[in-house]
A and B are shown apart, each in its own frame.
Chain A
Amino acid sequence: MRSLPGFLLRRLLLTIRTLAGVLVLVFALMEIVPGDPAVVFLGENATEDAVRSLRSELGLDEPLLTRLSRYAGGVVRGDLGESIFQREPVLELIGSRLSATLELAAAAFIVALGAGMTLGIASALARGRALDVISSIVAQLGVSMPVFWLGILLMAWFSVGLRWFPAVGRGEPLVPALLSGDSQVVMSALRYLVLPAVTLGAHHAAVVSRLVRASMIEAMSEDYVRAARARGLPSANVVFGHALTNAVVPVVNVLGVRLGALLGGAVLTEAVFGWPGLGQLAVTAISQRDFPLVQGIVLTFALVFILLNIAVDAIHAGLDPRIRLEASSGA
């Protein structure tokens, strides 16, 4: 299977196996709750009737395997159960929040890629000079700075102090706003999105900039780049047309690995900016010990993470045919 579709098919089949395992692990979360989960979820003061009713509702009075097969069957049919506290189907609750998280993650990804690549290229071209040293220090600080602290600082400066951006909440969803063609609606959506996206993207921009720098320095010393220079090609052509094209491959690979951190960071960013996404729903669900909802959210995060990884793998394999060969030889 050396073709891209073949590679993707194999990757998807492997994903089904991973998803089955993820589902079992999510189900097992309920099993590691110390004591009687129904008592834990409802609190020590709950009446016996309420506890009995919840036990029955969660199927806790049934054998483990029966519960697992019922849960798995439900997930396959799109039934993730009902929230204990909100009394609404878990899938609907997740559906109402997922787009906000994806919008934030996508915007942060663009920030990370844009800022990271710019800084990385500039740093590589100024290797060993002041700009390189400064950008390296900034990147090291960016990697070490907790995402929620950066969010608080940006909020204090740009929302509370300068009042340039709203401190909390979300405006119109960005994609419908863009489709509406109304510039005021788009601007309103962007004003809410900028600070959370910069907060979430900054850490990853720092990582990308270091990677791009390293990849560019390696690529610039390759024979094909030296040959391009020797042929008298313009410097910009050599940098962007030759070196960067090859330097971007390892960056894509690492970005795939970083996606998990991006989604985890989204939870914290949403908490800081009151962004009404899946992360905020998770925080509420965990605080209320609403376990069916927690399970549904964790499963959704895992699904999104796995699908995004497949997308990154596809891009990676498209950029570098050796990946497809390695995958087929390893099969």
Chain B
Amino acid sequence: MQGSIHGSVSRPPQVRSASLVIGASLVAAVVLVATFAPWFASLDPDVMDMGNRLAGPSRDHVLGTDNFGRDLWSRIAYGARVSLAVGLGSVALATLIGAGVGLVSGYCGGLVDRLFMRVVDLFLGFPPFVLAMALVAALDAGAWSVGLALAAVFWTEVARLVRGITLAEVERDHVAAARAMGASPLRVILRHVLPRVAGPLSILSTLAIGTAIVSEAGLSFLGFGVQPPTPTWGWTLSYGMQYLRTDMWLATVPGLAIMLTVLGFNLLGDGLRDRLDPKGRLRHS
């Protein structure tokens, strides 16, 4: 995952202190635009106006129009919905699966642990984006397929992190005491291990959302993501590329939207780590 190796010491204090605020602001802005897209963008993102195609910014079209005369700002605003839905959905699923596997693997140890870790190693044998592409190829293009494919890529890192923390936690005295007093495995996991996992997991998940969004855009850019006419940033960028000589703006705006969103989640993740994991435990797990 993109930002997961940026420990606190890798950034100067001036940048560290600003990370959380700037990241949270960027993320909040994107979430607001996506949630209230009809308010922020009054024009229908799918309505074509061929007589007004590739028009520059104007009062009617703040960011101009695309090659079909559709309002570019509307397509960016509505495209945020797809990016966030796929990014959040895939990471939520990956976190659920990865945390489940990691907790069980770390708590049980032995054969169960070895078995689960073999499966994790198997998935880690592929370059992540290539695996996502292959899965989308098998499942067919669409939001669900992309979400599932990205979840299949990201769950391994979550599983490894959670397993590492669980292995360390079950050795601690308070967990041994709870087990000796007859606490069930589920109770031990929920009451004693999960609270320790929650902090690092929230950092990793936040960073993963940025990676998932850029991966979704990459798949859309190649034509394997959510299909037109649904507005997506990757697809808008892809056809904007055909107008580099005359209308560079068309490829600039969606790229900027992707970058600012990913930057927001990366900074937020880094800021959370500075607060929750100042010793860089996550970095070394």
Whether A and B are associated in the same complex: the answer reads yes
Q: Choose among A19, A25, A260, A286 the residue that contacts B127 (Cβ–Cβ < 8 A).
A: A260
How many A residues, CB 8 Å from partner?
67
A-B interface contact total, Cβ < 8 Å: 175
Please tell me if the beta carbons of B263 and A144 are within 8 angstroms of each other in the complex. Answer: yes
Is the CB–CB distance between A146 and B217 below 8 Å?
yes
| Chain A at the B interface: SS class | helix
B111 adjacent to chain A (CB < 8 Å)? no
A164 within 8 A of B: no
Q: A25-B122, A210-B5 are in contact. Are A267 and B244 (CB under 8 A)?
A: no
Which of A22, A137, A267, A286 meets B137, CB within 8 Å? A286
Smallest CB-CB separation from A287: which chain B residue?
B223
Q: Is the CB of A21 within 8 A of B266?
A: no
Expressed in whole angstroms, the minimum distance between the Cβ of A39 and any Cβ of chain B is 13
Q: Are A133 and B12 in contact (CB under 8 A)?
A: yes
* Given A34-B139, A152-B244, A301-B127, A214-B9 contact (CB < 8 Å): yes
Residue A321 lies at the interface, judged by CB distance under 8 Å to chain B? no
Residues of A within 8 A of B3 (CB): 143
Given known A-B contacts A140-B266, A153-B255, A21 and B139 have beta carbons under 8 A apart: no
Selected contact of A264 from candidates B14, B130, B259, CB within 8 Å = B130
B contact residues around A271 at 8 Å (CB): 221-222
Asked whether any CB of chain B lies closer than 8 Å to the CB of A98, the reply is no
Interface range on chain B: under 10, 10 to 19, 20 to 34, or 35 or more?
Answer: 35 or more
Q: Is the CB of B259 within 8 A of A268?
A: no
Instruction: Digitize B67-91: 1 where CB-to-A-CB distance is under 8 Å, 0 elsewhere.
Output: 0000000000000000000000000
Interface residues, chain B, CB within 8 Å of chain A? 2-3, 5-7, 9-15, 118, 121-123, 125-131, 133-140, 210, 214, 217-218, 221-224, 237, 240-241, 244-245, 248, 251-252, 255, 258-260, 262-263, 266-267
Q: Contact residues of A with B, CB < 8 Å?
A: 17-19, 21-22, 25-26, 29-30, 32-34, 40, 127-128, 132-133, 136-137, 140-141, 143-149, 152-153, 155-156, 160, 207, 210-211, 213-214, 217-218, 254, 257, 259-265, 267-268, 271-272, 282-283, 285-287, 289, 291, 294, 297-298, 301-302, 305-306
